[in-house]
Amino acid sequence: MGSSKAEVEVSYDVSNEFFRLWLDERMNYTCAVYESPEQSLEAAQLNKLRILSDFAKVGPEKKVLDIGCGWGAALEYVATARGVKRAVGVTLSTAQAAEVNARKIPGVEVIGGDFRTFATPERFDSLISICMIDHLCSPEEARQGKAIDIYRAYFKKAWELTNKGAWFGLQTILRNRTPRMTPWGGLPAGTRKELEDIYFVTKEIFPGGLNPRLEDIIQAANPYWEVMQVNTRREHYQRTTAEWLRRLRLNEKTIRSTWGDKVFDDYDRYLSTCVNAFDKHYSSLAQYELRRID
C-alpha cells in the first residue's frame, strides 16, 4: 500500500521550521530547474512551477488539483502568478496541511488525507503532482510485480477527478540503476557504502515508498492519459540536492541545538546520498506533460 500516513509524517513532519532553514523561501521539496550556472535555487524552483503549470495548461479559468501538495508552493504559484480562483491540494502530512491553510492563500484549500481515498464532487481542469507518486508503491509490492497496477490506479483516480480536456503536469523521481558488483563478483571501492546509504534513505527518511521506473510510468498512464512530452532532469536534481546540503550545513549549529544530533546527521547523510545518486545515474527525474484521454 505504499507509504502510510505515519510513514509520510516521518518524511515531512520533523518540523516546518527545520525544513525552512534549508529549502527555498516557498519550501519546494522537489527538483528545481536551472536555466543558467549562476541561477539561484529560488529562481530555479519558480522555473519548475512554471513548466509544470504550462504542462497542465493552468489559467485563470481553470480549477486546479495538486496531488501531494507539500507546503503549497505550486498552489500559491497558480493562485498568484496564474490567477487561478480555485485550487485544491491533498497531502497526507498534517504539518504541511496546517502550514498551507494557515497562510490563507485566496482560493486555495488543502485537505489532509490520502489521495487514494480522496472523494469530492468537484471536477478539475488542470492537475499538478510533484514527486508524490514515489510514495505509492512499497519495495515489497514492486518485488511482487504490483507496481504498474498501483500506478495505473493512481492515473485512473486522477482521470476520474477531471473534466474532459484536462491536462496534467507530473514530476517523478526515477530509479535508474543500483550500484553493482564487478563481473568477477567483488564490490568496487565505495560501492558497499553506497548501497548502505541508499538503504538508509529508504528505511529512515522515506519509509514505505519506492521511486518508479520511467517505463512503468509511461505504461501505467495508459489508457487514461496520453504522454505528450517527457523531460529528464537528473543533473538539475543533483544541483538542487547539493544546494540543500550546503544550506543544511550552514545551519548545523542551529539544527543540532534545536532538533538534536541525530536529525542533523541523518539529513546530512541523506542529502549526501542524493547528490551521489544523481551524479552516478542511480537516480534521475522526469517531468511529463499528459493529456486526458476522453
Distance CA 262, CA 81 (A): 39
Rounded mean pLDDT, 242-259: 98
The candidate with the shortest Cα–Cα distance to 30, out of 129, 127, 168, is: 129
How many angstroms separate the Cα of 27 from the Cα of each of 23, 113, 170, 215, 228? 5, 20, 18, 30, 29
Q: Could you report the per-residue pLDDT of 92-127, keeping only the tens digit for each?
A: 888 889 889 999 999 999 999 999 999 999 999 999
User: pLDDT-derived band of residue 178, with 50, 70 and 90 as boundaries?
Assistant: confident
In CATH, the number for domain 5-292 is 3.40.50.150
The candidate with the shortest Cα–Cα distance to 217, out of 208, 227, 209, 207, is: 227
Cell representation of residue 168:
496534467
Whether residue 11 has pLDDT greater than 70? no
What per-residue confidence (pLDDT) applies to 6?
Answer: 46
Residue 168 pairs in a beta bridge with 127, 290
pTM score, whole prediction: 0.91
How far does CA 113 lie from the centroid of its chain? 17
Strands 108-112 and 86-91: parallel
Q: CA torsion, points 33, 253, 71, 288, in degrees to nearest 10?
A: 20
Which amino acids are annotated catalytic?
Answer: 274
Q: Could you report the per-residue pLDDT of 15-56, keeping only the tens digit for each?
A: 889 999 999 999 999 999 999 999 999 999 999 999 999 999
What per-residue confidence (pLDDT) applies to 10?
Answer: 44
Distance CA 157, CA 150 (A): 11
Side chain identity at 151, as an amino acid letter?
Y
